[in-house]
Amino acid sequence: MKKVLSIAGSDCSGGAGIQADLKTFSVHGVYGMSVIVSVVAENTGRVLGIQDVSPDMIGKQIDAVFEDIEVDAVKVGMLSAPDCMEEVVEKLKYYHPENIVIDPVMYAKNGCPLMEPAAIKTLIGTVIPLADVLTPNIPEAEKITGSRINSVEEMEKAARAIHTIGCKAVVIKGGHAAGNALDVLFDGKEVWHFDTARIDTKNTHGTGCTFSAAVASQLARGMGLREAVQKAKDYVTMALSHSLDIGKGCGPTHHFWHLYQYGLREEREG
């Protein structure tokens, strides 16, 4: 069985972060593991508090996994502060696993910040160059490039600009744009589009985590990059089209392992 590690924050309400990653890994038939970088007291509507795990303890969790278990892919999510980032980077350079997917999480869906603004320098200087695939949403890509994104052409331009920072591939997710939900992949050579109709729902908590965890799972299973992104897009579309009206704010994506396995996407379950 392929083994995939999530290094990310914990969402106690279960919709995003480590919890979304582990649900996604299970559906993809890979063995999921987790290193908790921050404990986030959050729900579908707001963030009540963030407590970072100490860099020493982050490092020990990563050592505990890698000294014992072969890792086929790593998904990195929320890293709130420069010292957390530096610890994760040092360990990933030491163990240099294959298939590193980095989701440069900056805000929750409700707009609450999950990364200290001053950490952007460390993110760009040390974290991004480690990524085999970087998956920013539009506001994150704007922060990284310092330029506004108002069109698909500007998404393509931003993907090329972010690639020059040193990551091998970039997917800019279009969940925050108007119109279709169109994601743009730049693999260092060519630009590819992944387009679906926009699903009309407020229940979009955890879509980005779900997407990047699905990409990591597919890469671990040996899929090529373009196909892995297409399959992850199919998966998040399905998880969103069945998203749950749980909580008072943006409800979470739903992980239907049996529907995915058998391809019965039209079937609904309460």
- Catalytic-residue membership of 204: yes
Measured CA to CA, the distance from residue 108 to residue 197 in angstroms comes to: 23
**Exactly one of 9, 15, 77, 209 is catalytic; which is it?**
209
Q: In this chain, which of 181, 214, 219, 225 binds ligand ATP, going by CB under 6 A?
A: 181
**Exactly one of 15, 17, 174, 208 is catalytic; which is it?**
208
- Catalytic-residue membership of 84: no
Measured CA to CA, the distance from residue 219 to residue 56 in angstroms comes to: 29
The answer to the question of residue 50 lying near ligand ATP (CB under 6 A) is no
- Catalytic-residue membership of 208: yes
- Catalytic-residue membership of 210: no
The answer to the question of residue 236 lying near ligand ATP (CB under 6 A) is yes
- Catalytic-residue membership of 231: no
- Catalytic-residue membership of 12: no
Using CB under 6 A as the binding criterion, the count of chain residues that bind ligand ATP stands at 23
Q: Rounded to a whole number, what is the largest CA-CA distance in the chain? A: 47
Which residues sit at the interface with ligand HMH, rule CB under 6 A? 8-9, 11, 16-17, 40, 42, 77-78, 105, 108-109, 114, 206, 208-209
Cα radius of gyration (the chain): 17
The piece of 48-56, 151-159, 195-203, 219-227 that touches ligand ATP (CB under 6 A) is 195-203
Q: Is residue 240 packed enough to be buried (19+ CB in 10 Å), middle (13-18) or exposed (0-12)?
A: buried
Q: In this chain, which of 206, 249, 251, 252 binds ligand ATP, going by CB under 6 A?
A: 206
The answer to the question of residue 109 lying near ligand ATP (CB under 6 A) is yes
Smallest separation, CB 250 to ligand ATP (Å): 7
The answer to the question of residue 174 lying near ligand ATP (CB under 6 A) is yes
Six-digit token pair at 86? Answer: 């530096």
Give the binding site for ligand ATP (CB under 6 A).
16, 109, 137, 173-176, 181, 183, 196, 198-199, 204-209, 211, 233, 236-237, 240
